[in-house]
Structure 1
Amino acid sequence: MNRQELIMRFSLRTLTDTQLKITHMPLKESAVLLAFIERNNELCLLLTKRSQHLRHHPGQISFPGGKHDVEDENLKTTAIRETQEELGIEFDDIDLFGELPFHDTITGFRIKPYLGFVDQRANITANVGEVSDVIEVPIKTFLFNPTHFMLPIIRPNLTVNVYFKPSQGHAIWGATAAIIEQVRLLLED
Structure 2
Amino acid sequence: MSDRFQSFREALAQTGVESSDFDLNPEVTLPEGRSLRPAGVLAPVFDTGARLELILTKRSSALKHHPGQIAFPGGKQDGGDADVIAAALREAREEIGLPSEIVDVLGVLPAHETVTGFSVTPVIGYVTSEFTVVPEPGEVEEVFRVPLDHVLNPSNYLVHSRRWRGQRRYYYAVPYGPYYIWGATARMLRAWATRMNR
| TM-score, normalised by the number of residues in structure 1 | 0.86
What is the CA distance between 1:160 and its match in structure 2?
6.7
Q: What residue is the counterpart of 1:182 in the other structure?
A: 191
Q: Percent identity?
A: 30
Three-state SS of the structure 1 residue aligned to 2:43 is strand
5+ long unaligned stretches in structure 1: none
**Residue 169 of structure 1 corresponds to which residue in structure 2?**
178
Structure 1 residues 12 and 134: CA distance shift in structure 2, 3 A: closer
Residue 8 of structure 1 aligns with which residue?
Answer: 7
Task: Report the CA distance shift for 1:132/1:162 in structure 2 as closer, same or farther (over 3 A).
Answer: same
Structure 1 residues 19-40: Cα deviation after superposition (integer angstroms, max 9, x where no partner): 2388524322111001001124
Q: How many residues align?
A: 187
Deviations 1:72-124 (A, max 9, x none): 12111100100000011112111111000000012221101111011332222
The aligned residue for residue 81 of structure 1 is: 90
Q: Quote the RMSD (CA, aligned, Å).
A: 2.7
Residue pair 2:154, 2:193 contacting (<8 A) in 1 also = no
Q: SS in structure 2 opposite 1:48? A: strand
Q: Does the aligned pair in 2 maintain the 1:3–1:43 contact within 8 Å? A: no
Q: Of 53, 58, 69, which aligns to 2:62?
A: 53
Q: Secondary structure at the match of 2:142?
A: strand
Query: What's the counterpart of residue 25 of structure 2?
Result: none
Comparing 147-156 and 93-102, the one that deviates more:
147-156
Task: Give the whole-Å Cα distance in 1 for the aligned partners of 2:69 and 2:15.
Answer: 26
Cα separation, 2, equivalents of 1:12 and 1:110 = 21
The two structures have a TM-score, normalised by structure 2, of 0.82
Which segment drifts farther, 170-179 or 86-95? 86-95
Provide the rounded CA distance (Å) in 2 between the counterparts of 1:18 and 1:152.
22
Q: Give the letter aligned to residue 85 of structure 1.
A: E
